[in-house]
Structure 1
Amino acid sequence: MSKDKIINLSFKNGLKIRPETIEINQSGLDFLVAYALDENNISWVLRVPRRDDVIETAAKENKILKTIRPFLSVSVPDWQIFNSEFIAYPKLIDEPIAIMDTQARAFVWRIDNTSLSDTFIDSMGKALASLHSIDHNVLKHQGFEIISTNDFREELSNNMNQAKTILDIPENLWSNWQNWLNTDGNWQHNMQFIHGDLHPGHILADNTEKVTGLLDWTEAKISDPAIDFTVFYAVFGEQVLDRLLAAYKNSGGNVWPDIKNHINSTLLSYPVGFATYAIKSGDNSYLDVAQAMINSSAESL
């Protein structure tokens, strides 16, 4: 993809970028991504679809962003240009708290991940509480599917059974999944609107470590709110999770009595999502990831 195409699409859509400032990132599987300054020195993110099939997913994300923006305590991308050829929005001011080094398979941190500040924890809890408290009536009015806790359990059960046909799931882990899933007492909370992929690369913070924005909303939907705590728990551990849950509760989030066990069980079932994606996408590399996670989860029990 040439800079000329980026320039032509920008001007065609009324965005006057400065050609000499264009930087292209070819790493994305679904979109070519470029960064550029406009004539007022505002930084823009420019995305060009690589395939026609990604447009539907992009349209869903655009709808999500428009719906949730007024209710959040943090910023999200504002897609000022969106069509089948081109997506463009002003780059959010702050940077992710970490980026993934794909070769080292480890995060490169912009903050001290061994000693997270109260500012970071409190603002993260507030962001999650604002997201999870979005009224279902608002979401229903915008056409989002409203699911019940039992709907979620049924879907997860189906996905687990499907995963079992293609992966080697040790009996101790399978029993753990089934006991958790089939015990009604574990499922007394309501489903809420969630981000669904809340890893450090999608969390923006300023120089004081205050969380100011969240990126990449392609997995957002009404689902189990525990999902938004699982990666945080896996990355930072139990003590930091305790701090986050306290901040979340202080901002109005629902912290039910057994939430920590539920988050841990959700984390143990995380490989099911990778298996489901592998089946839907036909990308078998995700099966290898899922199997490695299954082995690790089984060993931890």
Structure 2
Amino acid sequence: MPRSPLTLAALATAAVPGLDARSARAVADPGDYDTAVVTDAEGARWTVRAPRSLQAGAALEAESELLASLRHYVTSGVLSFTVPRISGTAVLPEGGRAVVHPAVEGAPLDVESLRPGPGLAADLGRVVASVHELPRAIVDDAGLPAYDAEEYRQRRMAELDEAAATGQVPPALLRRWESALEDVSLWRFQPVVVHGDLGPDQVLVARGRVSAVTGWSDARVADPADDLAWLLVSAPPEAIDSIMEAYQLRRTELTDKHLADRALLVGELALARWLLHGVRHGLDDVVADALDMLADLEDATREDAAH
């Protein structure tokens, strides 16, 4: 059963000495966490997250370790944005810990508002590139996963096989994806530190720039295309050049000529992963949503092929 905001406020009070919680509101969290924003007596806001499972608890511990390492790169100016700063933890009766940090500044990114030029679109490109330039040791030290290029291609193939086994992926899309995954030349990339779950809710914006990046529990050493896929799929087409140009300028020794192609493919494969999420958890509304999007993608690829 999800914890109430009042329960989470009590955990925040226990975690941070002197925190005088006055109100709390629940926050929707797509992960396996109970989350609330707590306001204290001085009007400061705090975010408290408590895992709902042992697996989520382990992920939260690893994320906390990573955030501690990332603070060095924030304070030294290597990263132009902030990340959550853990202020305290509270032991949970069933095991694991809740974590508390000051709420970070910014509003969720409005992807559709991106425009070409040196503004927010270019800043996004630099932000993603700066993550990819981080030393992989910070991921290794936090106990988070690391993959080489071939291992990662095999993981993608296994996901596609599982999606195909549902019998609900359009055959034309299956053929398209299988061909891309079997093209080894497409998957020659240098693994880097990736956030792993970038999206509008994790990228916060203030004063026309990225102010914070949250939700680091899926960080790993893997394919840089993972962090670019959502932007290349959802950003206005006219803004994509600005994103990619800024990204490439911020990267060192970038020789991945198939990066953008792979990012677009990863964006498409996200629909198969969404379908699998619905099937695995018996979520009929998620399955229906995924099938609608797969049908739309099939129509769009058919139209592209016709031209």
Which amino acid letter does the alignment assign opposite residue 183 of structure 1?
A: D
Q: SS of the counterpart of 2:128? A: helix
8 Å contact 2:114–2:120 — kept in the other structure?
A: no
8 Å contact 1:7–1:17 — kept in the other structure?
A: no
Q: SS of the counterpart of 1:200? A: coil
After TM superposition, give the deviation of residue 3 of structure 1 in Å: 6.2
Find the counterpart in structure 2 of residue 153 from structure 1: 153
**Percent sequence identity over aligned pairs:** 17
Find the counterpart in structure 1 of residue 83 from structure 2: 76
Instruction: Mark the CA change 1:199 to 1:139 in structure 2 (over 3 Å): closer, same or farther.
Output: closer
1:175 aligns with 2:175: yes
Q: Distance in 1 between matches of 2:206 and 2:53?
A: 34
Instruction: Mark the CA change 1:256 to 1:265 in structure 2 (over 3 Å): closer, same or farther.
Output: same
After TM superposition, give the deviation of residue 164 of structure 1 in Å: 0.6
- After superposing the two structures, state which structure 1 stretch, 226-235 or 154-163, moved more: 226-235
Q: SS of the counterpart of 1:118? A: coil
After TM superposition, give the deviation of residue 6 of structure 1 in Å: 4.4
After TM superposition, give the deviation of residue 33 of structure 1 in Å: 3.1
- After superposing the two structures, state which structure 1 stretch, 48-57 or 185-194, moved more: 48-57
After TM superposition, give the deviation of residue 228 of structure 1 in Å: 1.2
Instruction: Mark the CA change 1:297 to 1:4 in structure 2 (over 3 Å): closer, same or farther.
Output: closer
Instruction: Mark the CA change 1:172 to 1:74 in structure 2 (over 3 Å): closer, same or farther.
Output: same
Instruction: Mark the CA change 1:269 to 1:9 in structure 2 (over 3 Å): closer, same or farther.
Output: closer
8 Å contact 1:194–1:221 — kept in the other structure?
A: yes
8 Å contact 1:194–1:225 — kept in the other structure?
A: yes
1:35 aligns with 2:34: no
After TM superposition, give the deviation of residue 230 of structure 1 in Å: 1.6
Which amino acid letter does the alignment assign opposite residue 277 of structure 1?
A: H
Instruction: Mark the CA change 1:202 to 1:117 in structure 2 (over 3 Å): closer, same or farther.
Output: farther
Find the counterpart in structure 2 of residue 244 from structure 1: 243
Which amino acid letter does the alignment assign opposite residue 104 of structure 2?
A: L
Find the counterpart in structure 1 of residue 304 from structure 2: none
8 Å contact 2:82–2:211 — kept in the other structure?
A: yes
After TM superposition, give the deviation of residue 53 of structure 1 in Å: 5.3
Residue-by-residue CA offset, 1:201-258 (whole Å, 9 max, x unaligned): 2211222x11121121232222221121121122213331211010011112636333
Q: SS of the counterpart of 1:59? A: helix
TM-score by length of 2: 0.81
8 Å contact 1:55–1:84 — kept in the other structure?
A: no
Find the counterpart in structure 1 of residue 105 from structure 2: 93
Residue-by-residue CA offset, 1:38-58 (whole Å, 9 max, x unaligned): 455432112344556532332
Find the counterpart in structure 1 of residue 295 from structure 2: 295
Q: Distance in 1 between matches of 2:7 and 2:114?
A: 44
Instruction: Mark the CA change 1:53 to 1:141 in structure 2 (over 3 Å): closer, same or farther.
Output: closer
Residues 252-263 of structure 1: pairs in structure 2 closer than 5 A: 252=251, 254=254, 256-263=256-263
Find the counterpart in structure 2 of residue 166 from structure 1: 166
Instruction: Mark the CA change 1:267 to 1:27 in structure 2 (over 3 Å): closer, same or farther.
Output: closer
Which amino acid letter does the alignment assign opposite residue 300 of structure 2?
A: S
- After superposing the two structures, state which structure 1 stretch, 132-141 or 220-229, moved more: 132-141
